[in-house]
Amino acid sequence: MKSSKFLLVFLLFFSFKLQAQEYLFPVKPGERASLSGNFSEIRPNHFHSGIDVKIGGVDGEPILAISDGYVHRIKLSTYGYGNVIYLKHTNGQSSVYAHLRNFSPKISRFMREEMYKAEKNELELFLSPETLPIKKGEILGNGGNTGSSGGPHLHFEIRDSLERALDPFSFGFAEVVDNTPPQLYRVAIRPIGLDSRVNGKFQRQEFNPVLEGGRYVLREPIKITGKIGVEVYAIDRMDGVNNIFGVPTYELWEGGKNRFKVHVDHVDFAHTRFLLQHTHQNRFIKLYLEPNNPMQLYRPDSLGAGLIGLLPGEHSEVTVQMIDFFGNGRALSFQMEGEEPKHFFSPANVNSSGRTQVSYHREIMKIEAAPSYFGNLARVYVNSREMELPPAYMEQGKRIYLWDMNFGIPDSVDLCTEILKTSVVKKIPFGKEIFFANRDIAIHFAENSMLDDLFLRIEKTNNTKIRINSPQEYLQANMEVLWKNPGKTELSTFTHVYFQAGNGRKSFVGGEWEGEDIRFKTRNFGTFVLEEDRTAPSIRPVRINREEIRFLIRDDKSGIRDFEAYVDGKWLLMRYEHKQNLIWSEKLDKQPLKGEVLLKVRDMAGNEARYTAVIN
């Protein structure tokens, strides 16, 4: 029986290695590769779903098909993956080749013909097996910097039959070698519940680790009350390059037991936004499982997995193992000590002052208020009910109150020195369709809008600015917002909604006017403003002759929406490189361009610029 099991394991291992050896590395196979990005790396709002292969810092490196197959999907775009090819292979898996400068001649010819048929400057197609068959080692195109790329490279993926991205390293490419361990920057400890504390405070706290003898340590023990979660900010390095990479595997040990493991070996694109639950502000990896996180990357994957709690006076050692794909690892060790919650408060200096501050931590509202001559017992008003709330503790002369909003959303809080009006208006549960409306705004949350339960907060500054929660809170999919009577109806044709970042920079959101109201969709929380854009894009000719027309186009407010060109009344394909503000023509055949040239460029606000010329 044991020999049968051994034989089965051996055959499975052998078949996997054989399958891995079938794939050709897509860039200079047989030569050692240098990477600028790896699988599982944290990118803004998502995991990096492949590897980025360096191509010498310049465009043009031939990109090869890793196995026989056919082009089942192809896209030409100025954003995202830019020029990208998706191959479907005979084993059901697929491979992805993105940011190409150009496609091979046969693929380019096919795409150009299809784009002229559709009269579209950007096009995505899904193809049948017989349209563009591909052989292993065939040149698909040349590496480049198209789309949302910061430099010439190949973004390369392997996906399974369910279109989930797999770690390319797991296919045994000998071209990638690494002996460099991960590097730890910071450690954070987060209180999870109403009664949780970190060093006596209800506050997420960060600590600087020290590398001693090949191991990271925190030199001072951390005192905890209730349940806490550990978070780490770590990166990986690779031999011979200065780039920063992601760490795919973390293990949390406490008291000599493995409490939690994170292992990123696949990326399910249906759940990729849940990276924002997996991390703290897109940086720290949470070594505990947040409620409603569906990603299958965790062991155990039960509610509360990874949380640590100690009895008062109990001591325990915590260890975090950080391991890259090649087995290179570093460890972090530190001591934790359980302590009694503080029910008594140190005397406060009633002459001290300070502005009352309110912060929100999932379901918990934290209020920091100055001392009071009139007592410390706050009163929380929820609908017609009144509830007394003592301070949870005192900190630097301030009263700290904690309120679980699952008990009720406060209309106001009497802090003895002032009446605090809160901006919380409604709980939005995860996975449910919810409508909310008041006199200023109406919001529709679809079933898939939320990443987690959320307490909705709305602050209206004036008629042209409104804030919905914080940019540090996130959505999975769009919410639909109806902004009621914002007071800009006389400018409605060219006035739209913009998202305003903390630095004041504004980005176009859009919206459609419905009488005096404007309706828009967004996947971001934060501040929204109304702005007018009456300025058409600028057009500057670079080259106009019988072989090519080329222009610089720019719009500094709402941004470029689209463009179209005609020569002698016939539609002409125009390519666009947004990073250079450059558009240029690609002819369908070798016939020279001749006749009247007309270029139309429109911005997101609806302004249109035109340029005309004549080619003799």
Compare 519 and 493 and report the one with higher pLDDT. Answer: 519
Point out the domain boundary residue: 171, 203, 228.
171
Per-residue pLDDT, 488: 60
**CB atoms < 10 A from the CB of 561, how many?**
17
| CA gyration radius, the chain | 29
- Average confidence (pLDDT) over 142-152: 96
Q: Is the pLDDT of residue 605 over 90?
A: yes
Domain of residue 401, residue span: 357-422
- For residue 67, tell me if it sits in a domain: yes
- Average confidence (pLDDT) over 555-576: 97
- For residue 11, tell me if it sits in a domain: no
Q: What are phi and psi of 236, to 5 degrees?
A: -115, 155
- For residue 6, tell me if it sits in a domain: no
Point out the domain boundary residue: 422, 451, 467.
422
User: What is the 3-class SS of 160-225, one letter each residue?
Assistant: CCCCCEECHHHHCCCCCCCCCCCEEEEEEEEECCCCCEECCECCCEEECCEEECCEEECCCCEEEE
Residues 504 and 601 occupy one common structural domain: no
Residues 30 and 118 occupy one common structural domain: yes
Residues 247 and 379 occupy one common structural domain: no
**Which DSSP letter does residue 416 get?**
S
- For residue 9, tell me if it sits in a domain: no
22 confidence band (pLDDT: 50, 70, 90)? confident
- For 336-380, write each residue's pLDDT tens digit: 999 998 765 555 454 456 789 999 999 999 999 998 888 899 999
Rounded to the nearest integer, the mean pLDDT of the chain is: 93
Task: Round to whole Å and give the CA distance between 492 and 511.
Answer: 10
The SS3 assignment for 119 reads coil
- Average confidence (pLDDT) over 317-335: 98
Task: Round to whole Å and give the CA distance between 87 and 70.
Answer: 5
The count of structural domains within the chain is 5
Q: What secondary structure does DSSP assign to 50-107, as a single string?
A: SEEEE-TTSS--EEE-SSSEEEEEEEE-SSTTSEEEEEEETTS-EEEEEEEEEE-HHH
Compare 485 and 186 and report the one with higher pLDDT. Answer: 186
Task: Round to whole Å and give the CA distance between 295 and 275.
Answer: 9
Helix, strand, coil % in the chain, rounded to nearest 5: 10, 45, 45
Point out the domain boundary residue: 109, 140, 171.
171
Q: Is the pLDDT of residue 551 over 70?
A: yes
- For 66-100, write each residue's pLDDT tens digit: 999 999 999 999 999 999 999 999 999 999 999 99
- For 281-313, write each residue's pLDDT tens digit: 999 999 999 999 999 999 999 989 999 999 999
- Average confidence (pLDDT) over 542-564: 97
Own/partner long-range contacts of 219-223 (Cβ < 8 Å, ≥24 apart): 221/315, 221/334, 221/335, 221/336, 221/337, 222/189, 222/198, 222/334, 222/335, 222/336, 222/337, 223/197, 223/198, 223/199, 223/336, 223/337, 223/338, 223/339
- Average confidence (pLDDT) over 591-616: 97
Q: Which class for 184: exposed (0-12), middle (13-18), buried (19 or more C-beta within 10 A)?
A: buried
